[in-house]
Amino acid sequence: MIMRLLHFCLRERLVVLLAAGALAAYGWYATKTVPLDAIPDIGENQVIVLSEWPGQSPKDMEDQITYPLSVALQAVPGAKSVRGKSMFGFSFVQVTFADDVDFYWARSRVAEQLTTVSGTLPDGVVPQLAPDATALGQVYLYVLEAPEGVDLAELRSRQDFFIKYALESVDGVAEVASIGGYVQQYQVDVDPDRLRFHSIPLSDVVNAVRAGNIDVGAKTVEQGGLEFLVRGRGFIGSGKTKTETIEQIEQTVISTRDGIPVRLKDIARVQLGPAF
């Protein structure tokens, strides 16, 4: 067999040269067009579901979130395995699919299955899919340098509300993860002694602050052939500075005693600080 091949190559030199040239040209074309990964993603075909329930122990997370999600997601078509992990205030469920299953089809099936179990979860817990990218997809790091007079809170706000959205609009970008600085948060530091003095439970304070940060619609009023839209503007901080917003929160009425309102500033201190 080898002798016949050698005799053919010696006898048909032109054919061999043409075949070698065509092979070299195809190799050059392939190097210019075939996509290459410097660090190929060798991970499994998986979809991750994340859930947060602040302040809850790992056991409560396991019993009320991780276990119901794991059981429900086992019914997803094409799923090979479902693994769950519970941490303090955080639940992590990983659904692994076969390699021949389309990744975005798998994500749509998982999202569809989550709608059937969301009603059984605790109030305020909303499971969400992790970004459709792994750590191997990290391609670019950048640093924001604050000019004089700009603190870390303002720098993080510019990153989260301006730069991040601009980068996420670029084709092919799956996620922009912000690290550093701190997210601004209005914090209410309640004095327990003042609560006891006014006989106000902490739940009333939470409900009053929540109810004081909402817009209310009141339909329309017709007058003189004109129609006027009526709504109550209650969003905190709308068109106000940070100092004015703090004062606005302090004026929130918690309860009344003999016609005298007990405001938030009477039982707590409102401040602006980093999110926990």
CATH code for 185-274? 3.30.2090.10
Per-residue pLDDT reduced to its tens digit, 12-64: 788 888 888 999 998 888 888 877 666 666 667 888 899 988 888 888 889 88
Domains of the chain: which residue ranges? 45-133, 139-182, 185-274
| CATH classification number, 45-133, choose in 1.10.1530.10, 3.20.20.370, 3.30.70.1430, 3.30.360.10 | 3.30.70.1430
Q: Could you list the mean pLDDT of each consecutive 10-residue stretch along the chain, which spans 276 residues?
A: 78 84 89 71 80 86 89 86 89 88 86 84 85 69 84 86 88 81 86 89 88 77 83 76 85 86 89 81
**Cα distance between residue 188 and residue 209, in whole Å:** 9
- Check residue 41 and give its pLDDT: 63
| Same fold across 45-133 and 185-274 | no
